[in-house]
Structure 1
């Protein structure tokens, strides 16, 4: 079904940065989107956190966390601050699309009167060391606050992890935010998993909002493909590493899910069990024979049956004739 928006019936309108639609519709929470829409509607006007809350139905603290989220994601920039009493007005303006380079917390620490070199993450920073870093780094304080709004109260290991990603891997604030939001969306926020992705991104120079979003889109596509395969194969557990390799190969080769499912059905018919290796041999043989759709395979089977019917003697279909059919059709099945 296709949809078309009729803008003319609404009268006055306001703009939403393209970067929001491209990068945050899946990642941001409903409350964060509501707060952003209200701020964009009030562009150039003074807004207090209470006004944001009253007009969006979002709690004051949640609204403030959402504002901070969009600031750190470089979507909006504040002119003014929110005071403890929540009475200082905000003037929110859209941020230019170009993302500025983020300074590291280490660089900020070094501008202080008593700079200190951060130890390696694997040494495990103590609570006192983390508190000192927070004292000297607004970026780290902001990251901690946003991280808590995404994953909940931070443990010492998670604080260590964020500092490590920011200072030692050099990932930008907005990239870390996107990473944490993605991990929360798939319910995998354990430190080891987050750090594994962070390290991969650092190694592959995925350190802009656009690059991070592209990588997440690829991961989501792969994840959806795997879930579809699991459904087609009636699997009750996640694929093993070897099985995941086969799935990745099929995805990269462009095999359609319907064809893979047909290969699965043929496998069950032949050996009465799920075998990724067996299915892979079938798919490769079909591809080598020029069959890339289920209909291609069925047409080949149908042609064989028609030709065989015209030349065979009258034998029971389940007798020698059927055995010969299976033998010949297997030449392109396997």
Structure 2
């Protein structure tokens, strides 16, 4: 198949070091490439690790590993990460090859059990990369077999029967030092609350049910679960935002809801003008602007 580059794409470009293409394309992982492209494209803003994680839908561990990889390659400069830390993370990212997996399965009955149980749960033979990941979770991350199988079951129940999702959850829990089934169950309960709260917010705002940013996730839980903000109140905040800004702004809506909460407003009637007010049935958008901007 022959191909040509569409010249129109060059109307909006950014600088990309040729060394990445010349030296590291064969060496880097897919996540490494995604992260460095995102960083280079957003270089003027210098995105945080969390922002990169949210934008690319990859774990914080993968982001850190990618940054350390490119720092070790000399593409990025990191002032606060020692060479020891770089070596530790890069070494940790290496997964066992097929021979190592087979050897570990013979040496350790726990690994043999882990692979067999996961295969039963998947309902098929495991692929080489899947067995490598499972052994890596046990040997390198140090997770207990029961906890790994708990994560596998959680992934299946959420229709995400893939090793990338399992690895993402496992590395996140390892960072949070979740080591027991009891801690895992509490984390799953919290994740369910986050998901339910975000679903309520999306429905109230009339927006697509996408993966939320960390801020959206945290505030959704606060509004729905802690402050008990009703869907009607959420929709009212959204409507006020759009009427005022002519666009959807999560940050602006957050200020509106915080103001209502601080003033003890519990229902829509509390925020609507009274019948004898001058602006009957309307909102004083200018007043809302002053109230919101007074905290900036």
Give TM-score, length-normalised by structure 2.
0.58
The answer as to whether partners of 2:205 and 2:234 remain within 8 angstroms in 1 is no
Q: Tell me the alpha carbon deviations over residues 276-317 of structure 1, each in whole angstroms, 9 at most, x when there is no partner.
A: 1221121122123232x224xx234243x42438xxxxxxx7
Q: Tell me the alpha carbon deviations over residues 168-212 of structure 1, each in whole angstroms, 9 at most, x when there is no partner.
A: 222112111111111122233433332232122223221111111
Q: Given the alignment of the two structures, is residue 294 of structure 1 paired with residue 267 of structure 2, yes or no?
A: yes
Structure 1 residues 143, 174: closer, same or farther in 2, change over 3 A?
A: same
Q: Which residue of 2 is the match for residue 220 of structure 1?
A: 192
For structure 1, the 5+ residue unaligned runs are: 1-119, 310-316
- Per-residue deviation, 1:131: 1.2
After TM superposition, the structure 1 = structure 2 runs for residues 5-16 of structure 1, keeping only pairs within 5 Å, are none
Q: Which residue of 2 is the match for residue 126 of structure 1?
A: 97
The answer as to whether partners of 2:194 and 2:220 remain within 8 angstroms in 1 is no
1:249 corresponds to which of 202, 209, 219: 219
Structure 1 residues 149, 229: closer, same or farther in 2, change over 3 A?
A: farther
The answer as to whether partners of 1:263 and 1:283 remain within 8 angstroms in 2 is yes
After TM superposition, the structure 1 = structure 2 runs for residues 1-334 of structure 1, keeping only pairs within 5 Å, are 122-151=93-122, 152-241=124-213, 244-252=214-222, 254-255=226-227, 256-258=229-231, 259-291=233-265, 293-295=266-268, 298-303=269-274, 305-308=275-278, 325-328=284-287
Structure 1 residues 219, 236: closer, same or farther in 2, change over 3 A?
A: same
For structure 2, the 5+ residue unaligned runs are: 1-90
Does the residue aligned with 1:236 lie in a helix, a strand or coil?
coil
Count of equivalent residues: 198
Q: Could you say which structure has the greater relative contact order, defined with CA pairs below 8 angstroms and 6 or more residues apart?
A: 1
The answer as to whether partners of 2:96 and 2:136 remain within 8 angstroms in 1 is no
Give TM-score, length-normalised by structure 1.
0.52
Cα RMSD, aligned residues only: 2.8
- Per-residue deviation, 1:213: 0.8
